[in-house]
Structure 1
Amino acid sequence: MSTYALEAVFRPRSVAVVGASPRERSVGRAVVRNLREAGFAGPVGLVNPKHRQIDGVAAVARLADLPFKPELVVVSTPAATVPGVIAEAVAVGARAAVVVTAGLGQGPGSLLEQLEAAARPHGLRIVGPNCLGVMAPHAGLNVSFAARSPLKGDLALVSQSGAIAAGLVEWGAERSIGFSAVVSLGDALDVDFGDLLDWFAQDQKTRAILLYIESIRDARKFMSAARAAARAKPVVVVKSGRHAQGAKAAATHTGALAGSDAVYDAAFRRAGLLRVLALDELFAAAETLGHLRSAPGRRLSILTNGGGIGVLAVDRLVDLGGTLAALDEATVKRLDAVLPPTWSRSNPVDIVGDADAARYTVALETLLADRDNDAVLVMNVPTALSSSEEAARAVAEVLGRRPRPGAGKPVLGVWLGGHDAAIAALNAADVPTYATESDAVRGYMYLVRHREAQQALMETPPSLPEDFVVDAAAAQAIVSGALAQGRRWLDPLEVTALLGAYGIPITPVTLATDADAAAAAAAPLLAQGLPVALKILSPDIVHKSDVGGVRLNLASEASVREAAAGILERARQARPEARIDGVTVQPMITRPKARELIAGLADDATFGPVIVFGRGGTAVEVIDDKALALPPLDLRLAHELISRTRVSRILKAYRDVLAADERAVALVLVKLAQLAADIPQIRELDINPLLADRDGVIAVDARVAIAAYEGPVQKGPWHSRFVVRPYPKEWERQVELAHGRRMFVRPVRPEDEELFRRFFDKVTDEDLRLRFFSAVRHFSHEFIARLTQLDYARSIALVAIDPDSGEMLGAVRLLADANYERGEYGILVRSDLKGYGIGWQLMRIMIEYAGSIGLKMVEGQVLRENVTMLTMCQQLGFRIRPDRDDATLMDVELPIAAP
């Protein structure tokens, strides 16, 4: 349901507390006390059949007895009564409820099921049960039993743990960090992370979102909401259970490498979230984000009156991947003129232990003016020769002279000794302060990582090669045939054919049922001077080396015959119950300078298919050099995945070894992602080793596990098991236009940036003004990236292309709201091609798409002077009326019939 009725949770006009109590240390009393102390301005009703008044405030026996209709109902009654209370809330017209009561159970027949049955059919939103409550300081709302109310601020906190939420509120109050809202999800029967990410992404009082996650239930909804929110503002997440063994039963190397937490990490990375590993890091992130906006780069200047702490800060900066800024000559000369001759003359800028306020002032001003750094860390060690408080005030005064609060480079502070007056002065100047130099550097790197995550979301991938052709039908036939026989694994011949259908090079393989057949199969290879490899073939023996089932570098028919007999005998002795079909015969691949890699697919219970890449070989789990990513992949994401492994370093040239063809490796990963999209029955796929050198790649060994696919496992308008919607190829189509012209219509892809740039060159200034409501002539990378990089789960952009020239003719886009009820459209056609029906056809397809995903309404705004667009909307059946807030605009909307 996403943001539906959430305004009743965070901005209710009236509140009722059911279970309000005069009893000390009761949850009901704590909720009432917090609500009164928060200063909620609307009507508040107390409901308790046992009391006529509570703390001097009249109470009633039932919700129906209140003199007003409560928008928000807070429930703290015994578990057995909760479903009945929710039914009463529905009856009186409440829109949302916060259920703090615990102990409602799980599963069929439970009180939780009864609660859901009472609320969901009527659209009553539920926060909880078993939660701390909700706090929204800007609305004067605190319906929780936390010990303290949060300060007003612009950080939103969403936590599955009430204790974590309460702890962060306490910590924030002590550090002058405020919140726009604090929400404890508890059992998250209804309102979940996805809903709240959507809400806070649009909330004008929220600048950054903090998440404490234990698990995700609806991964598809979460990923869609998280990606949308991360494009709008920083989202920081800490997840517990990092060392849970989620892949114990995996049958392949890729499956074993894809542990549960590693998959969560891949998901957070794909969504553009900033992950921290512990609560103290979340606190540090909150401290940083509570004061600072962004860091333009990784270069940090350090200003200190103590050399030792400066060196420690440099060590930590290098550990975390930051860059120590260089001082340019002008900066050194200026500092030489005002600092004592014993200053460090390098970064860290050590202004010596007797540094007074004046010295801090001139040094900070100089570093802020230096273009060779991106941020400044100011530190102070208390000494008997100077005042820490005066130094802090000097820093605050320098920043106070900026044109506006928060303008310019980020400045962070470490004042050892924790002088309250000094910390207060820095906080007032919006300088985040930290207990140690390590915490401060880590806080700075949060800013850097967030900016880089935003840049990654906007990067344009290179185009796929024109020969990226797959035979999905042949691959599906292979898998379907094996499933029809009741098999869980493809045999090596099928694996070879499957990878071949996707253009992944693999060593050819021949099946031999006995030793003589093996010798006969090896003969042609041996005649070419190629030694051969033999491997046991059994659907019951996955790890061949464990039973002595592999022999390599066999150079004669006699050695092949002997090796095959030995392999079969050892296998029968080690695994007498196993079905043994024979051995496979393959030529030995001799690429002496090739790197051994692993690439494959694993299956995660929460996030579905996962791409795994890393260092290959028999000891992959021990080496544990791997990185994971969620499909679909483009070439940019594939290269980024490779870069996160240690083995990526030796893909480069070193000594007498030429660089491997990294693009060929990346292309294999993209093809695996496409294979996972096309064939959802593939559960695990293991290419190990995948050899890579300057001549390309070749798979030496591969295994594929399969299982029946019964349809969508998560809600959403597409069939794939992916939690990030893949490119919707089904919306590609050829369209006939007027005057004998044709156009090819397809969804926009991330690599279309240059296509759009050339298109805008052929659109007049007037047409651009009519489309974007203002004059637009500079098309930055960020501007076009927002048009071409889409979350297909929420938005679609269809581009019309001339099939002969490849030029773009026009585009239409539709952005669905978080509730999947309404969609806003926009359209633009090349100025020299009006009159061919391009806009009409694009609008028609867009409306068809809106119906396919279940939208009830398509709407838009059109300039009153744009008569052409208004006429087309009228002909398409749109309702047209003047905009209530802007006389220059007309609002258009089209009801969408169910498909």
Structure 2
Amino acid sequence: MQVFKSNDPAYDILRLERQPLNAIFAPQTVAVIGASDQANSVGRTILWNLISHPFGGTVFPVNPKRHSVLGIKTYATVKDIPESIDLAIIATPASTVPDIIAECVDAGVEGAIIVSAGFREIGTVGAELEQQIKQQLRRGKMRLIGPNCLGVMHPRNGINATFASVMARPGNVGFISQSGALCTAILDWSLRENVGFSAFISIGSMLDVSWGDLIYYLGDDPHTHSIVIYMESIGDARSFLSAAREVALTKPIIVLKAGRTEAAAKAATSHTGALTDSDEVIDAAFRRCGVLRVNSISDLFDMAEVLAKQPRPKGSRLTIITNAGGPGVLATDALMTTGGELAELSASAIAALNQLLPPHWSHGNPIDILGDAEPERYLQALEIVATDPSSDGILVILTPQAMTDPTLTAERLKSYIATHTASARKPILASWMGGTEVATGEMILNRASIPTYPYPDTAARVFNYMWQYSYNLRGIYETPVLSTHAVDGATARTLVETTIAKIHQARMILTEVESKQILAAYGIPIVATCVAKSEAEAINCAEGIGYPVVLKLFSETITHKTDVGGVQLNLPNAAAVQRAYQAIATSVSDKVGVEHFLGVTVQPMVSTDGYELIIGSSLDLHFGPVLLFGSGGQLVEVFQDRAIALPPLNTTLARRMMEQTRIYKALLGLRGRQPIDMNALEQLMVRFSQLVVEQRWIKEIDINPLLASPHGLIALDARIILHEPNITADELPKLAIRPYPTQYVTDWTMKDRTSVTIRPIRPEDEPLMIQFHQTLSEQSIYFRYFHLVKLSQRVAHERLIRICFIDYDREMALVAEYQNPQTKASEILALGRLSKLHSTNEAEFALLVSDRFQCQGLGTELLERLLQVGRHEHLKRIHAEILRDNRVMQRVCEKLGFQIHRTEDPSVVKAEIILSTT
């Protein structure tokens, strides 16, 4: 049983037609509320912009004090307009806006833009006005941009719903800004630089329409090739990450994020809380969703251009071809200081260059082809390094010298591009230095989609941005390894929740022993720990463990034991243990008071032949729990060698997180030292992430140190801090990225008594999905896609990542998993998918069942589960298009309550079910 959900490009156009935001970007009727004749007023400027840039629609001025504005009949209220209104633009005092929004909702207006200021930016009075507007919006389906914004331009269809003085040029860049003032500056700059836009959006305070809504809209827009954003605050973090992660795979998203905000956990008591800050978390969030962060306005548009024109590099190694040594050195410095590396030329490339170039060439990278280089030498050098596997990208530098021909050299590079498709070559950048002398050559290169830069250091930095973007995307969609030491989540959750509930009645800080018990429940190895509340007990513990031992303060209030003299190491005998117990008790009593001393813990003295790491989690104001990994031990704050990531992690994301630290290279083996088991460390990081995701009452947690050695991994110390007991479960911080929805995992038995597990799909399922597609007949494929699709296309990694690497907030895919009794291997027998339509509360469903297991009730069960998911996720409507010949699927739908409708296409019917009318 199969249902169609098109992968055709035309499907994007169909989705765009269904977009609620079309009322804002492609309206047929526009009301300007606050239209005025007053010179230089906002109301007059907006009205004039709309009527002076024909967009094929009708404009209605609204002003109760005027009979006409600019010679156009004016209406007292939006209710008085004789036609239904798609878009209302509001330019009236802030105090009047809630009532105007109420009138618009009552009149059925679909979209609104509030350009008025005077809301939350002025304080509590303005914030209250925003709350009143929100209450009105809940009564209808109207979408709203603003308040306090410049407005919206859609240059391709002529809409200028702003109070800017000029209209943007049409183009392929979607621009969104939180600053109206910056919008006008960018607009002026774009006209000088001949940069065009598919949309030009001032988002304002994001009272309703947010980053996520606009990213989805531009992602669906076939005229938008890249999205650039000026951001001051993240707003709804989950919405942003969800939209950006989906769209960034096909369209670059480049963000200039201004401002640095202290994290909520900055003053926290754990090491982790002291080591995170909001700007680092923003970087981690952008990496997680494939967004490229840049540092300047020029970088925004440089990257939009280059990512649209050139293929993405596979790595960070750049080869530089230059006719002058100095510019090559400048490019090298910029490359190395911003994270890239020079490609080390292969022996075959050097041999070929020796045959081509004069004897005095540089014999290395940068490749100095000397000042007398003619165009043909440039081209031949380029062709040699383009085939060198040790290089990931090429920068060609030209400085005008007596023998140089910048224009003809550009023509030669153009001819190379013309004979090599983007998918078959490496990215090529150019720096034509010399102003007017090289202007014609620059124009030729730019028209050939080779981005040019006046200075080579700029080009080198652009290349680094390119590979960072490519690296981030690969990290998101690289198939992870299935965990080989999976934690029994239900058992661990019950154990930990019971422990936390008992402790929470008295305090928020767990002891070291309690913290380690929680780690052990999630499969994290801990060092044996014995609690002693007297000298005699300490000696008994030590003799039971075996010397040498370590004594640490046992306290319910103090988390950093070394700060109060609470740690004594390498104790060889009973006398040393007795002295250490007394020393800890005295030091703690003198420094913080005897009430903080409850005894000691005794642990074996573990060999320090390894690396001390820290793994932790604390809270960020916008993103909720964040993870930390890095160099640990007593000097953790001094070295500050750390990486930040958002949970949940899989093995790929765990490895990418570790790669960002300096300690990572040491863990792989350094100067004859054995490497640690990186796979085991990845698995531990995944389990730690699972702990953080599932135990929401944990506010902060860190393992410091986690000793990593060739002999294994072991947590030597741990601390956990809980949330305040007076907050409710609903008030606990939510994850920025929705974790794996375990609530949808259930067992089920088919008609032939075969047992299967129905569960949400995972990224690790990609190999199983390849096997699944090998079991499908041509008829199954035809019923599913409405046309035949080759197996090689169906199992391509680029396609399967869209199926397996899903955002559980936006879609749900359920698979039926079966363990083959002969091979003991897992197999996927069926797949059901529920995909939300952007900016709506509706979804499409699709089903695909392996031919061998059809007619076993599996399709019906999957669809029924999808309906349960839809109700749980508060969807209002679910539908799908089905081939008229697919009678079996139609009967299944009717049995579950779907209505079957005809469509304009006689070969297709539509199945639809209403889940909620509220």
Shift of 1:364: 5.6
2:208 corresponds in structure 1 to: 190
1:590-739 to 2 correspondence within 5 Å?
A: 590-707=606-723, 708=725, 710-713=728-731, 721-739=734-752
For residues 405 and 558 of structure 1, the distance between their equivalents in structure 2, rounded to whole angstroms, comes to 74
Shift of 1:584: 1.9
8 Å CA contact retained: 1:168, 1:283: no
| Corresponding residue to 1:536 among 538, 553, 562 | 553
Aligned to 2:3: none
Match of 2:867 in 1: 847
My pick for the range that moved more, 117-126 or 493-502, is 117-126
Is 1:482 aligned to residue 527 of structure 2? no
On the 8 A contact 1:176/1:427 being kept in 2, the answer is no
1:705 Cα deviation after fit = 0.3
Shift of 1:366: 6.8
Q: 1:20 to 1:385 in 2, by over 3 A?
A: farther
Matched, 1:20 2:39: no
- Report the Cα distance in structure 1 between the residues aligned to 2:88 and 2:750, rounded to whole angstroms: 57
| Aligned counterparts of 1:330 and 1:536: Cα–Cα separation in 2 | 63
Distance 1:357 1:480, change over 3 A: same
1:841, distance to aligned residue in structure 2 (A): 1.8
Judged with a 3 Å threshold, the aligned counterparts in structure 2 of structure 1 residues 414 and 340 are, in CA distance, closer, same or farther, namely: same
Which residue number corresponds to residue 167 of structure 1? 185
Cα pair 1:534 1:583 within 8 Å, conserved = no
- What is the aligned length? 886
* Secondary structure of the structure 2 residue equivalent to 1:275: strand
The answer on whether the counterparts of 1:207 and 1:233 sit within 8 Å (CA) in structure 2 is: yes
The residue aligned with 1:860 is: 880
- Relative to structure 1, the CA distance from residue 384 to residue 148 in structure 2 (aligned partners, 3 Å threshold; closer, same or farther) is farther
Which one scores higher on RCO, CA 8 angstroms, separation ≥ 6?
2
Q: In the alignment, which of 515, 528, 553 is matched to residue 535 of structure 2?
A: 515
Would the alpha carbon gap of residues 690 and 63 (structure 1) be closer, same or farther in structure 2, given more than 3 Å must change? same
Measure, in 2, the Cα distance between the counterparts of 1:594 and 1:140. Answer: 65
Give the counterpart letter for 1:484 in structure 2. Answer: Q
**Where do residues 771-810 of structure 1 align in structure 2 (5 Å cutoff)?**
771-772=784-785, 773-778=787-792, 779-803=795-819, 804=821, 805=824, 806-810=826-830
1:717 is aligned to: none
User: Which of 205, 222, 228 lines up with 1:210 in the alignment?
Assistant: 228
Separation in 2 of the partners of 1:611 and 1:243? 18
Choose 189-198 or 532-541, whichever is displaced more: 532-541
Residues of 2 paired with 1:56 and 1:507: CA distance?
83
Aligned 8 A contact 1:154 1:290 in 2: no
Partner SS, residue 138 of structure 1: coil
Q: Deviations over 1:752-792 (max 9, x none)?
A: 12222222333233323332332322122233332222211
Residue identity opposite 1:31 in structure 2: I
Aligned equivalents of 1:809, 1:213: Cα separation in 2: 45
Distance 1:171 1:247, change over 3 A: farther
SS across alignment from 1:139: coil
Q: What is the CA-CA distance between 1:647 and the residue it aligns to?
A: 0.9
Cα gap change, 1:168/1:292 in structure 2, threshold over 3 Å: closer, same or farther? Answer: farther
Is contact 2:20–2:840 with CA below 8 Å preserved after alignment?
no
SS at match of 2:791: coil
Can you list the C-alpha shifts for 1:854-876, whole angstroms capped at 9, x where unaligned? Answer: 22222223333333323333333
CA contact (8 A) 2:273 2:617 kept: yes
1:93-125 C-alpha deviation (Å, 9 max, x unpaired) = 422221111112454773323333344422322
SS of aligned partner of 2:888: helix
State yes or no: 1:459 paired with 2:503: no
The aligned residue for residue 571 of structure 1 is 588
Mapping of residues 854-893 of structure 1, within 5 Å = 854-885=874-905, 887-893=906-912
Whether the aligned pair in 2 keeps the contact of 1:593 and 1:693 (CA below 8 Å) is yes
- Name stretches of at least 5 consecutive residues in structure 1 with no aligned partner: 715-719
Q: In structure 2, do the counterparts of structure 1 residues 585 and 60 end up closer, same or farther at CA, with 3 Å as the change threshold? A: closer
Q: Distance in 2 between matches of 1:423 and 1:150?
A: 24
CA–CA distance in 2 between the matches of 1:871 and 1:156?
44
Q: Which amino acid aligns with 2:177?
A: S
1:579 partner SS = helix
Pairwise CA RMSD of aligned residues?
3.2
Given that 1:506 and 1:700 are in contact with CA atoms closer than 8 Å, whether structure 2 keeps it comes out as yes
Percent of matched pairs sharing the same residue: 36
Residue equivalent to 2:22: 7
Which residue type is aligned with residue 20 of structure 1?
A
**CA 1:338–1:223: 2 relative to 1, 3 Å:** closer
After TM superposition, give the deviation of residue 342 of structure 1 in Å: 6.3
CA–CA distance in structure 1, aligned partners of residues 584 and 478 of structure 2 = 51
Pick closer, same or farther for the CA change 1:845–1:58 going to 2, 3 Å. Answer: closer
1:260 and 2:281 aligned? no
Q: In 2, distance between residues paired with 1:330 and 1:113? A: 68
Runs of 5+ unmatched residues, structure 2: 1-15
Cα pair distance change 1:335/1:167, threshold 3 Å: farther
Residues in 2 aligned to 1:695 and 1:392: alpha-carbon distance in whole angstroms: 58
Shift in Å at residue 534 of structure 1? 1.9
Measure, in 2, the Cα distance between the counterparts of 1:351 and 1:52.
Answer: 75
Match of 2:452 in 1: 433
Q: Offset of 1:299 from its aligned partner? A: 4.9
Give the Cα–Cα distance (whole angstroms) in 1 for the partners of residues 722 and 199 of structure 2: 46
**Residue 689 of structure 1, CA deviation:** 0.6
Shift of 1:137: 0.9
Listed one character per residue, the Cα deviations across residues 644-676 of structure 1 (whole Å, up to 9, x for unaligned) are 111111112223421112222222221221112
> Deviation per CA, 1:547-572, whole angstroms, max 9, x where unpaired?
22222122222222222222222212
CA spacing shift, 1:328–1:52, aligned 2, 3 Å? farther
Q: CA–CA distance in 1 between the matches of 2:228 and 2:674?
A: 45
Match of 2:299 among 277, 281, 296: 281
Relative to 1, partners in 2 of residues 1:306 and 1:294: Cα closer, same or farther, differing over 3 Å? same
- Structure-1 residue corresponding to 2:432: 415
Structure 1 residues 538 and 127, CA gap change in structure 2 (3 angstroms): same
Which residue of the partner structure matches residue 44 of structure 1? 59
Per-residue Cα deviation, 1:291-320 (whole angstroms, up to 9, x for no partner): 445445555443433332123223333444
Which letter does structure 2 place at the counterpart of 1:814? L
Deviation at 1:402, TM superposition (A): 5.2
Could you tell me whether the CA contact under 8 Å between 1:18 and 1:76 is conserved in 2?
yes
Work out whether residues 127 and 185 of structure 1, in 8 Å CA contact, stay in contact via their aligned partners in 2: yes
Change (3 A) 1:536 1:442: same
Deviation string 1:783-806 (CA, Å, 9 cap, x unpaired) is 333222221112222222234443
* 1:229-249 deviation line (CA, Å, top 9, x unaligned): 223322122222246465431
Q: 1:587 to 1:43 in 2, by over 3 A?
A: same
What is the CA–CA distance in structure 1 between the aligned matches of 2:871 and 2:475, rounded to whole Å? 32
Residue 481 of structure 1: how far off its partner (Å): 0.5
Kindly tell me: are residues 758 and 522 of structure 1, through their superposed partners in 2, closer, same or farther at Cα, counting changes over 3 Å? same
The 10-residue stretch of structure 1 (641-650 or 311-320) with the greater mean CA deviation from structure 2: 311-320
User: In the aligned structure 1, how far is the partner of 2:45 from the partner of 2:458?
Assistant: 35
Residues 247-285 of structure 1: per-residue CA shift (max 9 Å, x gap) = 431110011112112222221111122222333432332
Choose from 514, 525, 537 the match for 1:494. Answer: 514
Distance (Å, rounded) in 2 between the aligned partners of 1:31 and 1:418: 40
Q: Is the contact between residue 570 and residue 605 of structure 2 (CA under 8 Å) also seen in structure 1?
A: no
Question: Is residue 734–residue 743 contact of structure 1 (8 Å, CA) maintained in 2?
Answer: yes
Q: Which residue number in structure 2 is paired with residue 234 of structure 1?
A: 252
Q: Is the 8 A contact 1:851 1:898 kept in 2?
A: no
The alignment status of 1:103 with 2:103, answered yes or no, reads no
Query: What is the SS of the residue equivalent to 2:139?
Result: helix
- Pick aligned residue for 2:915 from 880, 893, 896: 896
**Does 2:602 match 1:586?**
yes
**Mapped partners of 1:822, 1:402: distance in 2:** 46
Q: Would you say the 8 A contact 1:522–1:532 is kept in 2?
A: yes
1: CA distance, partners of 2:441 / 2:857:
68
Q: 2:564 aligns with which of 541, 547, 550?
A: 547
